[in-house]
Structure 1
Amino acid sequence: MESYLFPFDGLLCMLLGISFTLWFTLLLIFIIVPAVFGVSFGIRRLYMKSLLKIFEWATLRMERGAREKNQQLYKPYSNGIIAKELVSLEQEIQEVRRSGIPAPEPEFDMSDIFSFCRRGVESIVDDEVTKRFTAEELESWNLLTRSNYNFHHISTRLTVLWGVGVLVRYAILLPLRVTLAFTGVGLLVVLTSLIGLLPNGWVKSSLSEKAHLMCYRICVRALTAIITYHDSENKPKNGGICVANHTSPIDVIILASDGCYAMVGQVHGGLMGVIQRAMLKACPHIWFERSEVKDRHLVAKRLSDHVADKTKLPILIFPEGTCINNTSVMMFKKGSFEIGCTVYPVAIKYDPRFGDAFWNSSKFGMVNYLLHMMSSWGVVCSVWYLPPMRREEGEDAVQFANRVKAAIARKGGLADLLWDGGLKREKVKKVFKEEQQKMYSKVLVGVSEDSHGSEVVRGSEDSHGSEVVRGSEDLHGSEVVRGSEDSHRSGGRHCYAAWRAGALEEPGRTFILN
């Protein structure tokens, strides 16, 4: 009986061998070789255009089902659950106080509690931070199970189409993408290790750049990514720092497939450690030990030494320090803006219709996230290279970071937020609470802002009609007391005379007459 099975076993082995040979031959011809030379046959773009037509047809089917049942198709996309009024704390408290008995002077009132309660409830229901760490909402269903929680009226035809999509994504695309990912990473480790044996010089640098570009382009194809690069004349140059908004670990692959960068990060173990050590042999990347990461002076010195050498690649940094869901840009850490070199801003915007690129690190590990991405339809994104920027005279690192962040947000069509992205893992810092207390104390003492943005403390009847202006009017940063225009004009003269006589010797305060 066993003798009759031998021919079938041999035939099966031969068919499997032919299948694998054909598979890797097609892989080599249509994907790996084009990646090496940086060309494309247009297959991915044709694939994405076909998907868009399928999504449009699916949306029409769902809209028809909703009309037949006279129901809403899905909840319309909005930027928030509640409508917030953009008013200051002072205006809000004054509005509440008008409904009660007016107080002759600014003082604490029990009704002030309502303003803080209202703001607290608004933050609990719909705060600006938490919703930046969840998947971006879609306006139409993209036939992925993970994104259909807002959509109903899925007909039998759509269910069949969804089933076909599952087979295509998991039976065809996922094995292909995993193969390409292992190929790209394997080539990166092998080639950089071999290049690392060469002596330092332009030959080693040139081969290293070509090897990195080739391997990253293979990894991009492992995600079926279509990337559109804009304003390439502003691409980062040696001796500078490239800063970009951060959505996902694949941001690195997206940028590195169009140019070479020196990476900055913490030393890891396992497979990631093997990749880091191999990359370091071929290119001067900057890896820190765990004990060195919190030493700001050491980090700044190594970054400064790197950018001072114009032969080294530009450094790639994500100043947010965490992944945001690509709807906004959050606070930039100031460390990379203190070095004093040229900064090259880059804006990255993903198209959520083909898959959610956001990495929710508190929910998914790295491996789960990569499988999540490889089982999506693909990655479509746009990259804008902004003109280089430098610190202006009199501008500190925080102001420079905010200016760069605003430029990135404006170019990428993202919301510009001042909040620290680290709040998703940490408790609210004490400084934020103190800021709210400071704002309320200004309301109690009657502090407002004049047309120049300076703080004005309005004096009462017995203070000679003078106003104290804290801020920008004097060059030494001292407080300015300005005589008012009312019937107590003489009070301003008394202040001026007292200052001339040396009677008013409060440090850091200057008196002037209107």
Structure 2
Amino acid sequence: MWISVVLALTVLPAMFGLSLGFTDLYIKVLVKTLEWAALRIQRAQKVPAVPCHLPNGIIQKGDSSMEEEIVELRRMHPHPLTGGNFTLCDTFYFCKKGIESIVEDQVTQRFTSEELASWNLLTRTNNNFHYISMRVTIIWGLGVFIRYCILLPLRIILAATGLSWLVIGTTLVGILPNSKENHPKKGGICVANHTSPIDIVILANDGCYAMVGQVHGGLMGLIQRSMVRSCPHVWFERSEMKDRHAVAKRLRDHVADKTKQPILIFPEGTCINNTSVMMFKKGSFEIGKTIHPVAIKYDPQFGDAFWNSAKYSMVAYLLRMMTSWAIVCNVWYLPPMSQQDGEDAVNFANRVKSAIAHQGGLVDLSWDGGLKRGKVKESYKEAQQKMYSSMIVGH
């Protein structure tokens, strides 16, 4: 009985674009609770203030100069260091910086979860969990009960209901005759930064898009076949994905047909951890001259929306999402951007990427996200081995 009531209070208003105010009330209560817990933790640990952090609650490391850090290093030496512009212990500073550059390079950092300024009462975001106070422990235990015994079953039911409606609804729509009045009058290309598979769901709340991706099997394949009945999505076989000319031709044909839905593309090609925007592949910007950019930024204090596909399977990722406090996301639809005269696809892609990064408050990086996912090419390995061999012979 209660399941029917919950579905009626959540699904039906969402179908008509209405809100009963429960979500806003839940978020406000959650924000107050997390702020209270952060203050209690600071008092218990006798920390005067949280580390320097951005408005979204992410830790930002201090940016001190090399001279200041070397002076601090000398000050901590057991014996006073005087005279000269350089001492032997200064080498430790450069060793430390070199190791930090290797361990915390800009690419690797974009594939790990964000570091929060204070604990958000999720067990998985506090690996060194220890007793802080009775009140915080009670709130944490109550939160575990709410997330796993109330929110998780409810979200599983809603997900099953939504997928069922998707398969049934798209199948029924596919039976109906084509009608231009139910499609956008103008085709186009929409590009966005990529953090999570639910980016598509977030954007689909505001409009209909044609998806671009690889053909899958199993449950995902069933969903793809159902979706293509109601909208001409562009699905590629694995062998086709390697043929750039064939992919570009199918996308151009889709964009040229103004009766079809605009294409939604994530030019990064992989999920990034919600802090940065990495290199946009130029292929998306060779199709048409007008791009509709969208910036997506999740609020990390309620849950980590980043999908690290190298670490978590889809099922494990969905479990993490469904046991989070909430998924709060900001979406900015930027004005259309057109390719300028004399501007190639690479510069056009970089200009769009910079606009998305600036609007979303994200770090604009020129690194290719595929560096983390792909294997090192054999040609690079051979060149490296030859370099090492020449160095050994030289010595």
Fold similarity call, TM over 0.5: yes
Aligned positions of 1:49-198 closer than 5 A: 49-67=28-46, 78-80=59-61, 121-149=99-127, 154-198=132-176
Cross-structure match for 2:275: 327
Query: Is the 1:307–1:314 contact (alpha carbons within 8 Å) kept by the matching residues of 2?
Result: yes
Query: Is the 1:240–1:341 contact (alpha carbons within 8 Å) kept by the matching residues of 2?
Result: no
Shift in Å, 1:33: 0.8
Please give the alpha-carbon distance, in whole angstroms, between the structure 2 residues aligned to 1:53 and 1:365.
Answer: 33
Cross-structure match for 2:390: none
2:191 pairs, out of 237, 243, 261, with 243
Shift in Å, 1:138: 0.9
Please give the alpha-carbon distance, in whole angstroms, between the structure 1 residues aligned to 2:245 and 2:172.
Answer: 34
For normalisation by structure 1, the TM-score amounts to: 0.64
Give deviations 1:210-236, integer Å, cap 9, x for gaps. xxxxxxxxxxxxxxxxxxxxxxxxxxx
Shift in Å, 1:125: 3.1
Please give the alpha-carbon distance, in whole angstroms, between the structure 2 residues aligned to 1:295 and 1:396.
Answer: 21
Shift in Å, 1:257: 1.0
Query: Is the 2:212–2:265 contact (alpha carbons within 8 Å) kept by the matching residues of 1?
Result: yes
Cross-structure match for 1:380: 328
Amino acid at match of 2:13: P
Q: Whose relative contact order is higher, 1 or 2, with alpha carbons under 8 Å and at least 6 apart?
A: 2
Query: Is the 2:192–2:267 contact (alpha carbons within 8 Å) kept by the matching residues of 1?
Result: yes
**3-state DSSP of counterpart to 2:154:** helix
Please give the alpha-carbon distance, in whole angstroms, between the structure 2 residues aligned to 1:151 and 1:392.
Answer: 54
Query: Is the 2:189–2:288 contact (alpha carbons within 8 Å) kept by the matching residues of 1?
Result: no
Please give the alpha-carbon distance, in whole angstroms, between the structure 2 residues aligned to 1:268 and 1:125.
Answer: 35
CA distance 1:120–1:52, shift in 2 (3 Å):
same
Query: Is the 1:242–1:316 contact (alpha carbons within 8 Å) kept by the matching residues of 2?
Result: yes
> What is the percentage of aligned positions where both structures have the same residue?
65
Greater gyration radius:
1
Query: Is the 1:73–1:151 contact (alpha carbons within 8 Å) kept by the matching residues of 2?
Result: no
Please give the alpha-carbon distance, in whole angstroms, between the structure 1 residues aligned to 2:234 and 2:19.
Answer: 32
Cross-structure match for 1:22: 2
Cross-structure match for 1:487: none
Higher mean displacement: 39-48 or 123-132: 123-132
CA distance 1:321–1:193, shift in 2 (3 Å):
same
Amino acid at match of 1:257: N
Please give the alpha-carbon distance, in whole angstroms, between the structure 1 residues aligned to 2:244 and 2:300.
Answer: 36
Shift in Å, 1:22: 3.4
Shift in Å, 1:371: 1.0
Shift in Å, 1:348: 0.5
Cross-structure match for 1:415: 363
Please give the alpha-carbon distance, in whole angstroms, between the structure 1 residues aligned to 2:43 and 2:60.
Answer: 26
Please give the alpha-carbon distance, in whole angstroms, between the structure 2 residues aligned to 1:57 and 1:338.
Answer: 51
Shift in Å, 1:82: 8.2
Please give the alpha-carbon distance, in whole angstroms, between the structure 1 residues aligned to 2:165 and 2:205.
Answer: 15
For normalisation by structure 2, the TM-score amounts to: 0.83
Give deviations 1:342-394, integer Å, cap 9, x for gaps. 10000001100100000011110011101110110011111000010111011
Query: Is the 2:282–2:346 contact (alpha carbons within 8 Å) kept by the matching residues of 1?
Result: yes
Give unmatched runs, 5+ long, in structure 1. Answer: 1-20, 86-98, 101-115, 210-236, 435-514
> Is 1:39 the counterpart of 2:18 in the alignment?
yes
Please give the alpha-carbon distance, in whole angstroms, between the structure 2 residues aligned to 1:348 and 1:150.
Answer: 31
Please give the alpha-carbon distance, in whole angstroms, between the structure 1 residues aligned to 2:130 and 2:337.
Answer: 48
Aligned positions of 1:294-313 closer than 5 A: 294-313=242-261
Query: Is the 2:297–2:331 contact (alpha carbons within 8 Å) kept by the matching residues of 1?
Result: yes
Shift in Å, 1:401: 0.3
Please give the alpha-carbon distance, in whole angstroms, between the structure 1 residues aligned to 2:65 and 2:111.
Answer: 20
**3-state DSSP of counterpart to 1:247:** coil
Shift in Å, 1:61: 1.1
Aligned pair count? Answer: 352
Query: Is the 1:73–1:153 contact (alpha carbons within 8 Å) kept by the matching residues of 2?
Result: no
Give deviations 1:268-308, integer Å, cap 9, x for gaps. 11111111111111111100011101110010001100111
Please give the alpha-carbon distance, in whole angstroms, between the structure 1 residues aligned to 2:65 and 2:170.
Answer: 54
Give deviations 1:7-41, integer Å, cap 9, x for gaps. xxxxxxxxxxxxxx2321x1232111101101100
CA distance 1:135–1:251, shift in 2 (3 Å):
same
Give unmatched runs, 5+ long, in structure 2. Answer: 54-58, 67-84, 87-93, 384-395
Please give the alpha-carbon distance, in whole angstroms, between the structure 2 residues aligned to 1:168 and 1:142.
Answer: 14
CA distance 1:396–1:118, shift in 2 (3 Å):
farther
Shift in Å, 1:144: 0.4
**3-state DSSP of counterpart to 1:200:** coil
Cross-structure match for 2:344: 396
Please give the alpha-carbon distance, in whole angstroms, between the structure 2 residues aligned to 1:84 and 1:364.
Answer: 38
Please give the alpha-carbon distance, in whole angstroms, between the structure 1 residues aligned to 2:315 and 2:193.
Answer: 22
Shift in Å, 1:140: 1.7
Please give the alpha-carbon distance, in whole angstroms, between the structure 1 residues aligned to 2:244 and 2:263.
Answer: 17
**3-state DSSP of counterpart to 2:330:** strand
Shift in Å, 1:119: 7.7
Amino acid at match of 1:265: G
Query: Is the 2:131–2:137 contact (alpha carbons within 8 Å) kept by the matching residues of 1?
Result: no
Query: Is the 2:52–2:60 contact (alpha carbons within 8 Å) kept by the matching residues of 1?
Result: no
Please give the alpha-carbon distance, in whole angstroms, between the structure 2 residues aligned to 1:399 and 1:75.
Answer: 37
Cross-structure match for 1:438: none
